[in-house]
Structure 1
Amino acid sequence: MAAEIIEFPERRPQDRLVFSVAQLEAMVREVERVAADDPEAGLDRLLAATERIGQQLVDLADLLLDEVTRLQAQSAFESLAEKIAETRETFDQLGGRKST
């Protein structure tokens, strides 16, 4: 039995960019849908989606920006993640969190 080596095409940076943008678009559609359906009940889902969008933007920054600017973007989104955590904590303390 002869073994055949299969070579898979290398993923180019453009492929990663297209994939990342597509994921970002899907996340934005999810946020729009949740916000339209019931924003109060979906707050936790909206915050989680915001976190995922932030991470996706950091991934895109890695593909598009120089090192200094990429690090600035990463720092900004880390700050956003901290603010989201504070928002969740405040909402929990107010007793307003609903299960989703």
Structure 2
Amino acid sequence: MDAEIIEFPEQGRDNRLASAIARLEAILREVERVAADEPIAGIDRLLALMERMGDQLVGLACYLLQEEPKLQAQRAFISLSDKIAETREALEQLEGRKQT
């Protein structure tokens, strides 16, 4: 895996926003790489990346949105995390059936 150096700017709303966007872009590049290089074997990795991406998007929502829309974004990504957990469980069950 290629190492990336992400500079964390000085404190301040604009700088924190730029830093959060840079972290999100790094996750997106990793998703593209995993999807291209390991489409089947990388499903669990892609699910983990989706969770990280959701966390970063919630972080961005905190910088950009007012309180109510921010809470809606948090609830949406909690729901996404629940769906990812359900997907993992389903994949584990499928893998268990294939091995028997």
Please say whether Structure 1 and Structure 2 have the same fold, judged by a TM-score greater than 0.5: yes
Structure 1 alignment gaps of length 5 or more: 1-9
Larger radius of gyration: 1
SS in 2 for 1:21: helix
Name the structure 1 match of 2:74.
Answer: 74
Distance, in Å, in 2 between the alignment partners of 1:60 and 1:50 is: 15
SS in 2 for 1:94: helix
Name segments (4+ residues, structure 1) moved above 2 Å: none
CA offsets 1:47-74 (integer angstroms, 9 cap, x no match): 0000000000000000000000000000
> How far apart are 1:17 and its partner, in Å?
0.2
> How far apart are 1:16 and its partner, in Å?
0.5
Using CA pairs below 8 Å that are at least 6 residues apart, which structure has the higher relative contact order? 1
> How far apart are 1:38 and its partner, in Å?
1.5
Distance, in Å, in 1 between the alignment partners of 2:34 and 2:57 is: 20
Correspondence 1:34-53 to 2 at 5 A = 34-53=34-53
Name the structure 2 match of 1:3.
Answer: none
Letter in 2 for 1:49: L
> How far apart are 1:45 and its partner, in Å?
0.5
Distance, in Å, in 2 between the alignment partners of 1:46 and 1:17 is: 24
> How far apart are 1:20 and its partner, in Å?
0.2
Distance, in Å, in 2 between the alignment partners of 1:26 and 1:40 is: 21
Two-structure CA RMSD over aligned residues (Å) = 1.0
Distance, in Å, in 2 between the alignment partners of 1:35 and 1:11 is: 34
Name the structure 1 match of 2:30.
Answer: 30
Give TM-score, length-normalised by structure 2.
0.85
Name the structure 1 match of 2:20.
Answer: 20
